[in-house]
Amino acid sequence: MSNIKKVVLAYSGGLDTSVIVRWLQDTYQCEVVTFTADLGQGEEVEPARAKAEALGVKEIYIEDLREEFVRDFVFPMFRANTIYEGEYLLGTSIARPLISKRLIDIANETGADAISHGATGKGNDQVRFELGAYALKPGVHVIAPWREWDLNSREKLLAYCDERNIPVEKKKGKSPYSMDANLLHISYEGMVLEDPWAEAEEEMWRWSVAPEQAPDQPTYIELTYEKGDIVAIDGERLKPHEVLAKLNKIGGDNGIGRIDIVENRYVGMKSRGCYETPGGTIMLRGHRAIESITLDREVAHLKDSIMPRYAEVIYNGYWWSPEREALQALIDQTQTYVNGTVRLKLYKGNVDVVGRKSEDSLFDEKIATFEEDQGAYDQKDAEGFIKLNALRLRIAASKGRKLS
């Protein structure tokens, strides 16, 4: 412990990380540097400065990372149509590699010996933070207080604050849901959600109206794509983080993006959580629509086949890994001709594709038509195609092999 002189802490300003600041000071007799990232969580991050100062912190980093987050992490992930276990759009997972990157950058800038985070010993985030940190700085020392201390309840944390005069906001009644928010989503865990049979309370949701309360008239939007990324909404060019923020508002107003799932955590347990991802839900549907007319069939199927692996890599915390970079290179290469416009209809929780167009479209009306195709496709050729593809089936059947 005596070798640790300075620690960079991922600091939110909340109860847990405020306790961690003082605990690090007391336990390691070290200087603490705090890092607070604005990833679009919807709350002011600047108040964290005053809280850190009150705890004696001299070096305080507060950074607006919204554009980098969406441009360099969210958008690359959505080029792959990434979804974990069929439902989860990885809103928490994709934020962790950026935070890890900045923790290491700041550690290098300040000469810190270690980094620290507030993730618990039961969750995925400890893995994500630390895998990223070790990949970027192999010799870094990581301090995870939840794996070391015995302050394993809110009551103990508050008692620790009282003993050491740590200023925190004390909320009466039950603890709130455990929440994590950024521009891509809000997650909810704990309380009633720990019973997978119990329905989530309507009051829990923050970004979206209930689908039954959404407008009775649909909302139409047009998304313009360049190389797989949305660059404009309804013809208005926007920066990546502006795109996502606007889609969150439009989607939330139409009751889009709520899911309630039980997922398999990397550490081995099943966990029930609820997620609001209105903008991401729209982005996924729109991207698949523009790819449907611009991607070659085999390329599209190849992408679909590797997507679960890519999603698992991100979920498990391996963004900073050679396998993710290799998968990303393939995915990005497929996006060269993913250009054009998609028209979507949003209505009471649903996202329907109602139009798509592109100068790079592979859809050929002359061939696809049910009317006279003027010789573009000879239907007689299909007979030989079918017989060749049926050859193995015919041989097996002729040998007496039966299929049940």
Q: What is the pLDDT of residues 304-356, one digit of tens each?
A: 999 999 999 999 999 999 999 999 999 999 999 999 999 999 999 999 999 99
Q: Is 190 annotated as a binding residue?
A: no
Closest of 109, 168, 113, 116 to residue 143, by C-alpha: 116
Closest of 46, 56, 65, 149 to residue 106, by C-alpha: 65
Catalytic residue among 96, 102, 272, 324: 96
Q: Is 340 annotated as a binding residue?
A: no
Q: Is 110 annotated as a binding residue?
A: no
Q: Is 276 annotated as a binding residue?
A: no
Fold of 6-65+92-164: Rossmann fold (3.40.50)
Q: Which residues pair with 31 in a beta bridge?
A: 6
Tokens describing residue 276: 């609001």
Tokens describing residue 266: 């990397």
**What DSSP assignment string belongs to 55-102?**
TT--EEEEEE-HHHHIIIIIHHHHTTT--BTTTB--TTGGGHHHHHHH
Q: What counts of helices (H) and strands (E) characterise the chain?
A: 13, 14
Give residue-wise pLDDT tens across range 3-61.
899 999 999 988 899 999 999 999 999 999 999 999 999 888 888 999 999 999 999 99
Q: Is 13 annotated as a binding residue?
A: yes
Answer whether 6-65+92-164 and 178-357 agree in fold. Answer: no
Q: Is 11 annotated as a binding residue?
A: yes
pLDDT at 117: 97
Q: Is 82 annotated as a binding residue?
A: no
Q: Are 123 and 150 in contact (CB under 8 A)?
A: no
Q: Is 85 annotated as a binding residue?
A: no
Tokens describing residue 202: 């309507």
Non-local CB neighbours of 169 within 8 Å, separated by 6+ positions? 15
Catalytic residue among 38, 113, 125, 180: 125
178 in catalytic set: yes
HSE (side-chain half, CA atoms, 13 Å) at 27: 14
Q: Where are the domains of the chain?
A: 6-65+92-164, 178-357
Its sign, for the CA torsion 285, 288, 292, 298, is: negative
CA dihedral 195, 201, 205, 209 (to 10 degrees): 130
CA–CA separation, 102 vs 36, rounded Å? 10
Catalytic residue among 71, 178, 253, 332: 178
Neighbours of 246 (CB within 10 A): 18
96 in catalytic set: yes
Four-way CATH pick for 178-357: 1.10.1060.10, 3.40.640.10, 3.90.1260.10, 3.40.50.300: 3.90.1260.10
Strand 114-116 and strand 141-143: the pairing is: parallel
Non-local CB neighbours of 256 within 8 Å, separated by 6+ positions? 208, 211, 278, 281, 282, 346, 349, 350, 351
CA–CA separation, 383 vs 388, rounded Å? 9
Q: Which amino acid is at 285?
A: R
125 in catalytic set: yes
Catalytic residue among 16, 113, 180, 229: 16
Non-local CB neighbours of 328 within 8 Å, separated by 6+ positions? 76
Chain mean position to CA 313:
12
pLDDT at 373: 67
Q: Is 124 annotated as a binding residue?
A: yes
Chain mean position to CA 73:
9
The pTM of the full predicted model, rounded to 2 decimals, is 0.93
Q: Is 80 annotated as a binding residue?
A: no
The values of phi and psi at residue 165, to 5°, are: 55, 45
Q: Are 186 and 206 in contact (CB under 8 A)?
A: yes
Percentage of the chain modeled with pLDDT above 90: 82
202 burial level (CB within 10 Å; 0-12, 13-18, 19+): exposed
pLDDT at 71: 98
Per-residue pLDDT of the chain (404 residues; tens, 9 = 90+): 568 999 999 999 888 999 999 999 999 999 999 999 999 998 888 889 999 999 999 999 999 999 999 999 999 999 999 999 999 999 999 999 999 999 999 999 999 999 999 999 988 999 999 999 999 999 999 999 999 998 888 789 889 998 888 887 655 544 468 889 999 999 999 889 999 999 999 999 999 999 999 999 999 999 999 999 999 999 999 999 999 999 999 999 999 999 999 999 999 899 999 999 999 999 999 999 999 999 999 999 999 999 999 999 999 999 999 999 999 999 999 999 999 999 999 999 999 999 999 999 999 888 877 777 677 778 889 999 999 999 999 999 999 998 88
Closest of 7, 12, 49, 11 to residue 26, by C-alpha: 7
Q: Are 119 and 152 in contact (CB under 8 A)?
A: no
pLDDT at 174: 44
pLDDT at 194: 93
Q: Is 188 annotated as a binding residue?
A: no
